[in-house]
Amino acid sequence: MASMVLAIHQHGWVHTDLKPANLLICGQNQLKGIGFGLAVKLLHGECEVSNAGDTPLWNYPPEKLYGRYDLVQATVWSVGVMFCYMLVGKLPFSSLILANEYPPRWPDPSPATRGQLCNIY
């Protein structure tokens, strides 16, 4: 799995949604990654985002819960979560009630403030 993730990164992409449902074992015990719909192109080898997407909380690196985070570092966390799943047979933190929930969606801002919000950053 680590070599698969490395190959993806070497081609300038980050998967961003590593989870059991996005991994397949093919013919000769070769691991294949699928589900690239949320993949992000790296610019100059770096990518920092604040959008949580639809990743379940069990796969969140701690810094992702607090705002901006580095996607490559977050992928290292996801690989660790997946290794734990492969070794133990269950996801870490799966006993927590929130572990299987998705983060709440932020409501859309008031139309009256949209122009002002764009000028904040």
| Residue 7 identity | A
Half-sphere exposure of 49 (CA within 13 A, CB side): 17
- Rounded to an integer, what distance in angstroms lies between the CA atom of residue 68 and that of residue 81? 20
Half-sphere exposure of 58 (CA within 13 A, CB side): 19
Q: Is 54 a catalytic residue?
A: no
Strand ranges in 51-120 using DSSP code E only, listed in sequence order: 69-70
Q: Which of 17, 54, 70, 108 is catalytic?
A: 17
Q: Which two tokens stand for residue 120?
A: 């904040």
Q: Which two tokens stand for residue 113?
A: 């403030």
Residues annotated as catalytic (active site), given as ranges: 17
